[in-house]
Chain A
Amino acid sequence: MKYILSIVPAFLFTLSVYSQTHKYLPSQIRVGTDLSYLGLSVLSKEKSQFEINADIDFNRFLVIGDYGYASWRFADTDYEYNNSGSYFRIGLDYNFVRPDENQNAIYLGFRYAGADFNENFSYEVQDPFYGDYSNDIQDLKRNGSWLELAAGMKIRVWKGLFLGWTGRFKFASGISSPPSTFNNFWIPGYGKTSRDSRWGLNYQIFYRFPLFRKNYKPADTAKGN
């Protein structure tokens, strides 16, 4: 225990010194959420979605992690559809803005995304030849995955607060599912599966938590890294 107590401060000091000189040590972690999803969840009776976004910088590279939850329920006179589940994204962005104290970002990157969700579909059929009937397909547990190309920006607006957006091109979606006669309709985080690719847009707010302090020299800012 004594050994650990003595080595931890030494390790932290070493990291601190190292971070002053080594550009690939992360300076911060940014955590945020999507504002439009919050608005959607408040205004819509059918759809709700919540998403947490985070990134950590390694010089010009940003390692991305997102986690979200979404649900969608809608119905008509002869059917009812219900879908809810969680999703995640992990990926890497390249920041075109030189690292400085502001840590603004204009970036391009890719993501791998996956979703774990549950679909329910019940319907009624009016059949004049064989008689009316109804069917209830419940608890259809499915997994989805897809890839994304992402571009966007995060701009520091006040102290540790950032505003930004991310545009996404989602493609190469796949579904794994138990055998069912009901075709998958929607994947949380991806959208409707009627097309092979989808566009998406997030309006985000972030707050940054400093990790390792870095000295950004004015000369570096002028010359670039």
Chain B
Amino acid sequence: MRSGIAFAFIVVCLIWFLSACENTDCITFSRNFIVVQFLDSADNKKDTTFSYITASSSNVIFYKDTTLSTYALPINTNRSETTYIFVGINNVMDTLQVGYISGQRLISEDCGFELQLRQIEILYSSFPNVIALQNQLSTLNEIDIEIYP
């Protein structure tokens, strides 16, 4: 009986140790901006110049007089879609409407919460060819949407 109790005590200590091993690290992979990349017909990165880029539900201009191949565009997490407006150097305007589900995840009582954007889809685009590469916005992915202007 004594050996049984000693065994039980060791088991309790082991379980206690294992249960105490939980670390609440604040690692998150979600992000609240979408990364679009412009490509030419040969799938090479294509620098594209815009007078400005904004969104229909925002008063902020995200980029102004910029030439890049890759743009990071903030997402409106309070809505299920964001419509981006790309104005070129000749005042040619293109729009890109992206749909998604904005979810909330509580990481822990110490780390707070994060917003998760998933089920990314192209609702409308005036660009000739647009491809959504990712289902969920994550820092693990570099590019979310490819645009062939």
A-B complex: 10 closest residue pairs judged by Cβ atoms: A167-B15, A199-B19, A129-B74, A181-B103, A185-B106, A130-B76, A183-B105, A133-B78, A74-B109, A182-B104
Q: A144 to B104, alpha carbons, bound, how many Å?
A: 19
Q: Do A201 and B115 have beta carbons less than 8 Å apart?
A: no
Question: Interface segment, B35-43, B44-52, B55-63, B140-148?
Answer: B55-63
Q: Do A125 and B115 have beta carbons less than 8 Å apart?
A: yes
Q: Do A130 and B58 have beta carbons less than 8 Å apart?
A: yes
A137-B104, A181-B103, A201-B16 known; A127+B11 contact, CB < 8 A: no
Q: Do B19 and A106 have beta carbons less than 8 Å apart?
A: no
Task: Determine whether A165 belongs to the interface, using a CB cutoff of 8 Å to chain B.
Answer: yes
Q: Do B77 and A127 have beta carbons less than 8 Å apart?
A: yes
Min C-beta distance of A81 to chain B, whole Å: 6
A128-B60, A129-B55, A182-B103 known; A199+B15 contact, CB < 8 A: yes
Closest to A195 in B: B22
Q: Do B78 and A123 have beta carbons less than 8 Å apart?
A: no
Q: Number of B residues contacting the other chain (C-beta, 8 Å)?
A: 32
Q: A97 to B5, alpha carbons, bound, how many Å?
A: 12
Q: CB within 8 A of B103: which of A129, A152, A183? A: A183
Task: Determine whether A78 belongs to the interface, using a CB cutoff of 8 Å to chain B.
Answer: yes
What 0/1 pattern do residues 9 to 20 of B give for CB contact below 8 A with A? 001100110110
Min C-beta distance of B9 to chain A, whole Å: 9
Q: CB within 8 A of B18: which of A130, A185, A199? A: A199
Q: A41 to B11, alpha carbons, bound, how many Å?
A: 26
Q: Do A130 and B105 have beta carbons less than 8 Å apart?
A: no
Residues of B within 8 A of A133 (CB): 78
Q: Number of A residues contacting the other chain (C-beta, 8 Å)?
A: 35
Task: Determine whether B4 belongs to the interface, using a CB cutoff of 8 Å to chain A.
Answer: yes
New A-B contacts (8) at CB < 8 Å, excluding given A79-B113, A182-B104: A79-B112, A81-B106, A121-B113, A123-B113, A152-B8, A181-B104, A182-B106, A201-B12
Closest to B101 in A: A181
Task: Determine whether B69 belongs to the interface, using a CB cutoff of 8 Å to chain A.
Answer: no
Residues of A within 8 A of B77 (CB): 125, 127, 130
Task: Determine whether B97 belongs to the interface, using a CB cutoff of 8 Å to chain A.
Answer: no
Q: Do B78 and A127 have beta carbons less than 8 Å apart?
A: yes
Residues of B within 8 A of A151 (CB): 11
Min C-beta distance of A120 to chain B, whole Å: 11
5 contacts between A and B (CB under 8 A): A78-B113, A121-B106, A125-B115, A135-B78, A165-B8
Q: Do A167 and B55 have beta carbons less than 8 Å apart?
A: no
Q: Do A201 and B104 have beta carbons less than 8 Å apart?
A: no
Task: Determine whether B125 belongs to the interface, using a CB cutoff of 8 Å to chain A.
Answer: no
What 0/1 pattern do residues 164 to 176 of A give for CB contact below 8 A with B? 0101000000000
Task: Determine whether A160 belongs to the interface, using a CB cutoff of 8 Å to chain B.
Answer: no
Q: A55 to B115, alpha carbons, bound, how many Å?
A: 44
